[in-house]
Chains A and B, each alone.
Chain A
């Protein structure tokens, strides 16, 4: 059963007085314990899709449901992680993690327990009192992941979490994300990196160039040459070719 589902999402923005469609009739779903990688060329609306899924912006058309309920910004079962770790520089690591659950109405003891657990989960208890400028890029992203996981979400939305990381930090963060999925969290990960998608994802969703439409939404299992097929799909997407919702040619 899907944890998070979107049906017919469309979104456009007014830029210089002109209506620019960014997403068009995008449908997708993610189940518990599955990692869905969202790929597409620049400007395909991947980050917009993530904001719609998080309830941060209303779609022009369509709807998003989380556990069968319409999504709302700040839903406790959902956590979001950005390309930039987005740590607040005036807060320590511990306080940054606590910020993720600050508005959930938890007791002090429960907050403390969740923060400690999340920091232990990403292996950063020893730097709990450090400040963001004292962290490496990889550590900062792990703090951001701890902040997301402290919410004990059922769905984790990741917006290009690896783009600013070195290979070792990517590997470490990737392992943590797979571990989170192993614990039953549904993950939607926006990326433009085919390798990352293949290594981490169970399913891929490829969006076409603007306006983003679903070119492909398939499980990765059973693909004979996933790298090649995904690259071909991305080339088609960049060319703006809209094939179909489920394109068997890529298997």
Chain B
């Protein structure tokens, strides 16, 4: 007995767009997108929470960067997906492992951009700050952080892209919701129009997230004209 061949490759975008419409209307895609978004945002939040202070420290203290550079480069070059088995063993199947993978993947652009921004600070700003009595924490808070915002935003945009790319394989780690899971599910059901719709959905949500970051950056620039 021969199984009927799946309708692949699709001959027109019609069925995929139709499936996309139904998936949105029935709330299936928004539900999975919402779950994925929550994971990405938590992962990005963790990456920012770790990457910004570490980047500030590495940029401000060149000796610290020299000492840690080999370790950081070693860890950075390991594919984030290589951590999958370790994440599952350490954190179990579920949200925590997915969020860990997203955070591990997206911390690098944030950390490296922040460190680079601090390294290239105007040296005179540092002299100025010290001449008016600012301590090192004051300099980091009042000079380094505001000065590295543009690099931090660029790092965040890159991190978001990476997080969104890592999300799909990460959500294949035995979770029962999220866009990655849904994609796998449509493949298993041989529902290729829904699969294409899910891929389109992933792209659209990624685009919206990037637009959100850019809007945030534009808002920040407008809040202080000097940054323009």
Contact = CB atoms under 8 A, between A and B. Distances in A.
Nearest to B223: A90
A54 interface: yes
B133 A89 contact: no
A247 interface: no
B118 to A, nearest CB: 15
B9 interface: no
B26 interface: no
Interface of A: 51, 54, 56, 73-76, 78-80, 82, 84, 86, 88-92, 99-104, 131-134, 151
B74 interface: no
Given A73-B133, A74-B130, A99-B142, A131 B122 contact: no
Nearest to A132: B226
Given A74-B133, A80-B128, A131-B224, 18 more contacts: A56-B131, A73-B133, A76-B133, A82-B124, A82-B127, A84-B122, A86-B124, A89-B226, A90-B146, A90-B149, A90-B224, A90-B226, A90-B227, A91-B224, A99-B132, A100-B132, A103-B132, A131-B226
Given A131-B226, A133-B226, A88 B131 contact: no
Question: Which 3 residue pairs across A and B have the least CB separation, nearest first?
Answer: A74-B133, A131-B226, A103-B133
Interface in B181-228: 224-228
B132 A151 contact: yes
Contacts of B135: 103
Interface in B129-170: 130-135, 138, 142-143, 146-147, 149
A54 B227 contact: no
A74 B226 contact: no
B226 to A, nearest CB: 3
B125 interface: yes
B9 to A, nearest CB: 52
Given A100-B132, A101-B132, A51 B127 contact: yes
A86 B123 CA distance: 10
Interface of B: 122, 124-125, 127-128, 130-135, 138, 142-143, 146-147, 149, 224-228
B131 A54 contact: yes
Given A89-B226, A131-B224, A56 B130 contact: yes
Interface centre among B124, B131, B143, B225 (most CB of A within 10 A): B131
Nearest to B221: A90
A103 B134 contact: yes
B132 A82 contact: no
Nearest to B125: A86
A49 to B, nearest CB: 14
A96 B228 CA distance: 17
A109 B95 CA distance: 51
A74 B132 contact: yes
A206 B179 CA distance: 73
A210 B218 CA distance: 48
B132 A92 contact: no
Nearest to A54: B131
B54 to A, nearest CB: 23
A74 B149 CA distance: 26
Contacts of B149: 90
Nearest to A89: B226
A73 B129 CA distance: 10
Contact of A91 (B132, B138, B226, B228): B226
A74 B135 CA distance: 9
B133 A79 contact: no
